[in-house]
Amino acid sequence: MYETLKKHFGYDEFRPLQKEIIERVLAKEDCLVLMPTGGGKSLCFQLPTLLQTGLTIVISPLISLMKDQVDALTTNGINAAYINSSLSHDEINNIVSKVKSGEIKLLYIAPERLSVPHFQELLHTLPIGMFAIDEAHCISEWGHDFRPDYRNLKMLRTNFPSVPIIALTATATHKVRDDIVKQLNLPKPHIFTSSFNRQNLSYEVLPKKDSFKTILSLVELYPEESVIIYCFSRKDTESLAEKLNAHGHNAGTYHAGLTADKRKDNQDRFIRDDIHIMVATIAFGMGIDKPDVRLVIHHSLPKSIEGYYQETGRAGRDGLPARCVLLFSTADKFKQDYFISLISDEEEKKQAEENLDKALHYGYLKSCRRRFLLSYFNEKYTVANCGNCDKCIEFAPLDTPKSTSKKTAVKSVTTNEITGDFDADLFSVLKQIRTNEATRLKVPPYIVFGDKALREMSLHKPTTDEAFLKINGVGDKKLKKFGEIFMSAIREHRN
C-alpha cells in the first residue's frame, strides 16, 4: 500500500482516515466518505484500484472535473479515461475497446450515461471491481447542489448487487448523509467522517461599503495568485470583472448567461493561470481541483452555510495559507428573500428561509467563525481561540502591504508539511518551468507539480534522484518525466 502510494502519488504517508478507508474498500465493503475539500478523497478509490483486479467506474458530475482527474492520473502513470459528451463517437469506441481489453483501470462517466440502455448493457460485460460516486451530495434533494441525474445511481445496487460502492463528498449535514445512504440503497456502509476543520483557511467578514475598493485592496495583496470572487448575479460578475481589468488585473467571468464554450474557455484559462481572478456566480467551482487558490471573496451573502463552506473550500486545497472573506450587508438578504418568495413548495421555501437565516447569523457573529462553521456540520470545536478568524485575531488593515510581498527574496512558510525559508527567486524560476511543461503536455500547471512541491524544491534544492523523490508529490513517474529539467535549474541556481 505504501509502496504504491509513493510510486504513483509521490507521498510517504497517508492523510487522516485514508488508510482505514482503503482497507475497507479492498475488503469489498461499501463506504460513505465525508472529507473536506483538499482532504484527499480521490486517493481513497484511486489507490485501491491499483491494488486489485477489475475496473473502477467513477461517477462524476462535471466534464472539467473528469478531465482534471484523468490528466493527473495519466501524469502519474495510471491508465485512466473518461467518456462524456465532449468526445466523438469514434473516441468513445476507442476508449470502450481499451476498457474491454483491460488496458484502462479507472473509467470516469457522467451520471446521465447510466440511463443509456446500450451503456448499461456494456457495463454488464465488464469486470467491474468498484463504483466510486464523487460529489455524492448531488443525489440528495436536501443538499445544496441536487442534480436529478444522480437519481439514476439507484440502479447500481439493483443491477450490480455484489459490486461495492464508495460514495464521497466534502459537505453533508446529517440529513444529507442519511439521504445519500438511503438513495444509494447501501444497507450497512462504513461511514467515515473526517474533521471539517480546514486549519490553513482564515475566515473574516468585512462591511460591504465601497466594496470595489475593498476587493481591490484584497486582490492586490495576492499579485499573480489565483483568486475567486463569488457574486449574486451575472450583472455583478460582468461589471466587477470589467473594473478589475480596467485596474490592470487579469479577470474573467463565469455564469449561466455565457455560452457553454465561453464558460469552458474561461474556466480553462483560470486553471492554466492565464487569468488569475475568476469572478463568478455559484455556478462555478464544483469539481475545480485547482489547489493554489489563495483568496476567495464572497461579494454577496451566501444562500446557505453549506454552500458557503463548499465555496470557501476551493481556497488552499494544497494546505498552504489561504483567505476567505465575506463582504456583508443586510441589504443582500432582501434580494434573496425575493427569490425565496417565488418558491411554490412550502417545505422547500421554509428550508431556504432557515438556510438564509443561518448565513445572516454568520455575518453578525460575535464569536469564533470557525467554531460556528464546524458546529453546523455537528463537529465540536473546543479550542478557545482558533487563531485564524477575525473574531480570534486582528487582521492587518487592508491598506498596509503584507510582509509576504513578491519582492522579498526569501519567504517564510509555516504549514504542517513545510516550515522554513524558501528561496523565492528559485521558486519563480521553477514556476516558469512548470508553466512551460504544462503547456507542452496540454495540462494545468498543478498537474505537473503543486505550489507545495515547488516550495519544497526551493527550500531543499534537491539535485539527485534520491533527494528529488523526497519532495512531497514526487513519485517514480514524475521523477522520470520532470526530474532532470527541474534539477538542472536548481543546480544552475545554486551555482
Q: Could you say which of 376, 401, 430 is where a domain stops?
A: 376
Element (H, E) at 68: helix 63-75
More confident residue, 414 or 18: 18
Whether 252 and 184 share a structural domain: no
- Asked if residue 212 is part of any domain, the answer here is yes
Q: Which of 140, 171, 193 is the last residue of a domain?
A: 193
Query: Final residue of a domain: which of 165, 193, 221?
Result: 193
Looking at residues 412-431, what average pLDDT do you find? 72
Least confident residue range of 151-165, 331-345, 412-426: 412-426
- Residue 383, judged by CB atoms within 10 A of its CB (0-12, 13-18, 19+), counts as exposed
Q: Give the CATH number for residue 144.
A: 3.40.50.300
Q: Could you tell me if residue 278 is inside a domain?
A: yes
- Are residues 154 and 228 both part of a single domain? no
Asked whether the CA dihedral 349, 352, 358, 363 is positive or negative, the reply is negative
In angstroms, the Cα distances linking 319 to 201, 291, 414 are 9, 8, 10
User: What are the backbone dihedrals phi and psi of residue 204, each rounded to the nearest 5 degrees, phi first?
Assistant: -150, 155
> What does the pLDDT look like over 313-356, one tens digit per residue?
999 999 999 999 999 999 998 988 988 999 998 988 998 999 99
Strand partners for 413? 420
- Indicate whether 405 pLDDT > 50: no
Are 218 and 174 members of one domain? no
* pLDDT over 60 (residue 482): yes
Looking at the structure, tell me whether residues 17 and 158 fall in a common domain: yes
* Residues 173 and 309: beta-carbon distance below 8 Å: no
Same domain, 227 and 189: no
Q: Which three cell numbers stand for residue 386?
A: 482558533
User: Residue 372 falls within a domain, yes or no?
Assistant: yes
For residues 271 and 338, state if they share a domain: yes
The CATH number that applies at residue 422 is 1.10.150.80
Q: Looking at the structure, do residues 188 and 215 belong to the same domain, yes or no?
A: no
- Structural domain count of the chain: 3
What is the pTM assigned to this prediction? 0.85
Residues 40 and 79 in one domain: yes
Confirm whether 392 is domain-assigned. Answer: no
Residues 106, 443: Cα–Cα separation, whole Å: 19
Q: How many other C-beta atoms are found inside a 10 Å radius of the C-beta of residue 96?
A: 18
- Retrieve residue 304's grid coordinates: 446557505
Q: Across 283-369, where does the E strand assignment appear?
A: 293-298, 322-328
Residue 493 has pLDDT above 80, yes or no: yes
Q: Note whether 434 and 449 are within 8 A (CB).
A: yes
- Domain span at residue 82 reads 9-193
Cα angle 421, 422, 426; round to 5:
155
